[in-house]
Structure 1
Amino acid sequence: MSKKQQPKASPDPVPTSTDWWRSGVIYQVYPRSYADSNGDGIGDLPGITRKLDYIARLGVDAVWLSPFFKSPMKDFGYDVSDYCDVDPMFGTLDDFRELVAKARKLGLKVMIDQVLSHCSDQHPWFIESRSSRTNPKADWFVWADAKPDGNPPNNWLSVFGGSSWQWDTRRRQYYLHNFLTSQPDLNFHNPEVQQALLDSVKFWLDLGVNGLRLDAINFCYHDEKLRNNPGTGEPEASPGTAPSTNPYSWQKHVYDRSRPDALKFLQRMRALTDQYPDATMVGEVGDESGMLMVAKYTADGDKLHMGYCFDLLTEDFNAPYIRSVIDKFQKAAPTPDKGWACWAISNHDVKRVATRWAGQDPRAERLAAALQLSLRGASCIYQGDELGLPEADVAFEDLQDPYGITMWPEFKGRDGCRTPFPWDADKDDLGFSGGKKVRKLKKKAKPWLPVSPAHRALAVSEQEDDPDALLHHYRHLLKWRRNQPELMQGELALLPADGAVLAYVREHAGGRVLCAFNISDKPVKFALPQGLKIAGLLEDSGATGAKAAPKGEKISFEPYGALFARLA
């Protein structure tokens, strides 16, 4: 570690509350698109620091920053070339220290992305590894000989299209890449690789971060025998990790990801993070078994603290499907020691929830928020969810995402959920670029992605002045939730399936709260199961569009109505 990278003393530690993550609400910031402090068209760390007051006022517990490390930006930071430094486009290590210090003053915890399964082909580790078959890092990446006919060693596919093997003329071998060819996979079967990555994680924990979001963590191990994956044929619908139009989804990925060895590495990660008060890990587990794999990766209190998958990041927005996802996890992890979920309904990799689920219906947007924040576990809100931002329409010539460029037109990639955040409706770039440095510029650069005209009316400036806006609904809901021990700490029991209504009971210390949602655009009636009776509605929750009969045994829902009630 170079002298410039040695961490300075961390600020005073955040007061210890080691289980904050169990009911924590995490706000994800995509740095490139949040706030540009210097007018270069790209969001940065000083810009985020300037907006931390807004995040704190929302009422969340932590802010998760997508990658801001040194990178050639082929995959916009998810191709790291230096795990222990900030890319100059985002600022400096001192800028990060300032961000952490201000977050602490505001009562916010800071979580950062850790991209451990792969790095950039411009990382010094890979540059050395590819230089020969005998150098000290020759085995730090996954190398394999060609078949006798010159083809790749097996049938594994890349998520971003084509074979997951890339030929290298220096070593006259193939190397593995589960994503872009410029993102070679690290060889986790090598103990030196594990230790180097643990050292890089420790660097950031010593700087004061409170949590880690582990990107594609189930991709970190591969089958050493390089056995072929079995084929499944073309799926009728997207199974979760990739769209059905992507051949990646036509295989059962039993040998190139979700290998049992990954759990042993996560135990080492947990032993490290447990040395830091308040530190937590949430893992992205992209696997077709969804919540079952999340349970496996979070079981026994010695691996991930919590995890999420793609089960609620699909187009499916109906009571039977969402109930099945919850039920799957409930059965796999009936008690906290068997696993813990972080519920995500939106993020930087999928179409925005306001379009994907709600169809830009304000009632459905409010219901989605109430549903997510009443589930047992933690929650992750993606920037703009609180504004109801729809998916932006990005023209092909403006696309930046290599995944979308490759898969166009049936899959348009991830740029539509990554456009600049709308702060001020009266400004040309909706206030994305602002601050003293910007005001001194004669001409600021265009934002890296076009600002969406559809976001102008939903800008923060517009919603602040409208008491009925979704932003205020989120603020109220988050504040109200903190005072409901049943939602913060309670068990969850699903009620029997009933058409368009999803209902469950949260129970803690003798208190029981009914959470019920009409996930449809039609009015419906719902009869409580025998033995359940509503004692009173929790009308201060902000839930709307539902009312109970005088005897408290039947509920009438308007389209997308939601109800919270205390049970007798």
Structure 2
Amino acid sequence: QSNFHFDLGTLIPNIINNQEINDKKNQPEDMDKSSYNGFARSLAGEYAMYARNNPDYIDAPFLSNHDQPRSSAALRNNPAKIKLAADMYILAEGVPFIYYGEEIAMKSGADDPTKRTPMVWKPAGKDKLTPTWCDSGAYGNVSVYNKKTVPVSEQENDPDSILNHYKRVIRVKTAHPALYKGRLTPVPCDSAVLESWVMECDEEKAFVVHNVSSVKDVTVSLPEGCNMPMVYAANPAVKVEDGKITVPAMSSVVLAQMK
């Protein structure tokens, strides 16, 4: 059995949005380095709580469900934020759950019918399988929330789409034992805007880094023991060389190596 990780759908958007506010204020990085890597440390604390009750716990992280507005609203419908949020929870411990529609940035309103509208497979009027209940008089025209949502049929053909981003990070997750069955240990980098941790199991070790800044590309020295081959880069401008890593704004990186 796995445990649904209910607070991530609030925590992750708050981290990303709050950092954007700090970026706009051009605030300097906090000199108190004890505050660095807060998200990773929060995850580790919750995993430790799970382990005290069940050493063989399995986490089940998610961003939203059928009772909540889809996460794209909290992320201001910003594609870069939506992709970063996906990486931040999928590349943590456990078995990630995706509420249908999040992988194409579907929208929701406040009431339940708008949170459960049909998947947008094709452009409006071209999908013969779309049910009609969402436009019935009983509910009002709740499909209006997704009039601008790019359908699956179009996102599949766009290599930079949110859908294809989800596919890429899921492929990385399922290809690396450290990511799908490893345990997390916070390993900070020398930056207030980088969230980073090691995922490790008997077979493999991985180093995961997220730059939550909306504007700052960051270059730091790799922590000891983390200089490994790169297996995932959300942004092609990522660089790993001479013991340093450059992580562009709002992007994620995974380094990994079999033992």
**Fold shared per TM-score above 0.5:** yes
1:333 corresponds to which of 32, 45, 50:
50
Partner of 2:95: 378
> What's the offset of the Cα at 1:520?
2.3
- Cα distance between partner residues in 2 of 1:542 and 1:557: 9
Partner of 2:83: 366
Q: Which has the higher contact order (CA 8 A, sep 6+)?
A: 2
- Cα distance between partner residues in 1 of 2:138 and 2:104: 20
Quickly say closer, same or farther: Cα 1:533–1:475, change in 2 above 3 A: closer
> What's the offset of the Cα at 1:343?
0.6
Quickly say closer, same or farther: Cα 1:323–1:492, change in 2 above 3 A: closer
1:451 aligned counterpart, secondary structure: helix
- Cα distance between partner residues in 2 of 1:522 and 1:387: 24
Quickly say closer, same or farther: Cα 1:531–1:325, change in 2 above 3 A: closer
8 A Cα contact 1:429 1:447, kept in partner: no
- Cα distance between partner residues in 2 of 1:462 and 1:365: 18
Q: Give the superposed CA RMSD.
A: 3.2
- In the TM superposition, what are the counterparts of 1:318-357 in structure 2 within 5 Å? 318=16, 322-334=39-51, 337=55, 339-356=57-74
Partner of 1:487: 179
Q: Aligned AA for 2:15?
A: F
- Cα distance between partner residues in 2 of 1:560 and 1:430: 37
Quickly say closer, same or farther: Cα 1:360–1:445, change in 2 above 3 A: closer
Q: Aligned AA for 2:230?
A: L
Q: Aligned AA for 2:9?
A: L
1:505 aligned counterpart, secondary structure: strand
Partner of 2:250: 560
- In the TM superposition, what are the counterparts of 1:162-561 in structure 2 within 5 Å? 305-314=1-10, 315-318=13-16, 322-334=39-51, 337=55, 339-356=57-74, 358-392=75-109, 412-427=110-125, 432-433=130-131, 445=136, 448=139, 450-452=142-144, 454-496=146-188, 498-528=191-221, 530-538=223-231, 541=232, 543-544=234-235, 547-552=238-243, 554-561=244-251
> What's the offset of the Cα at 1:323?
2.9
| Structure 2 unaligned residues grouped into runs of 5+ | 17-35
Q: Aligned AA for 1:329?
A: E
- Cα distance between partner residues in 2 of 1:534 and 1:548: 12
2:39 aligned counterpart, secondary structure: helix
The structure where helix makes up a greater share of residues is 2
- How many correspondences in the alignment? 233
Quickly say closer, same or farther: Cα 1:334–1:544, change in 2 above 3 A: farther
Quickly say closer, same or farther: Cα 1:481–1:505, change in 2 above 3 A: same
| Structure 1 unaligned residues grouped into runs of 5+ | 1-304, 393-411, 435-443
Quickly say closer, same or farther: Cα 1:509–1:320, change in 2 above 3 A: closer
Quickly say closer, same or farther: Cα 1:414–1:500, change in 2 above 3 A: farther
2:15 aligned counterpart, secondary structure: coil
- Cα distance between partner residues in 2 of 1:351 and 1:382: 10
8 A Cα contact 1:424 1:459, kept in partner: yes
Q: What TM-score, normalized to structure 2? A: 0.75
- Cα distance between partner residues in 2 of 1:447 and 1:501: 47
Provide Cα deviations, 1:400-446, integer angstroms capped at 9, x if missing partner. Answer: xxxxxxxxxxxx44454333322221417895228xxxxxxxxx956
Quickly say closer, same or farther: Cα 1:432–1:565, change in 2 above 3 A: same
8 A Cα contact 2:218 2:249, kept in partner: no
Q: Aligned AA for 1:543?
A: A
- Cα distance between partner residues in 2 of 1:519 and 1:414: 31
Quickly say closer, same or farther: Cα 1:500–1:531, change in 2 above 3 A: same
8 A Cα contact 1:332 1:338, kept in partner: no
- In the TM superposition, what are the counterparts of 1:91-106 in structure 2 within 5 Å? none
8 A Cα contact 1:477 1:542, kept in partner: no
Provide Cα deviations, 1:278-305, integer angstroms capped at 9, x if missing partner. Answer: xxxxxxxxxxxxxxxxxxxxxxxxxxx2
Quickly say closer, same or farther: Cα 1:549–1:424, change in 2 above 3 A: closer
- Cα distance between partner residues in 1 of 2:203 and 2:56: 23
- Cα distance between partner residues in 2 of 1:536 and 1:462: 33
Q: What TM-score, normalized to structure 1? A: 0.37
- Cα distance between partner residues in 2 of 1:545 and 1:334: 37
2:208 aligned counterpart, secondary structure: strand
Partner of 2:21: none
- Cα distance between partner residues in 1 of 2:240 and 2:217: 13
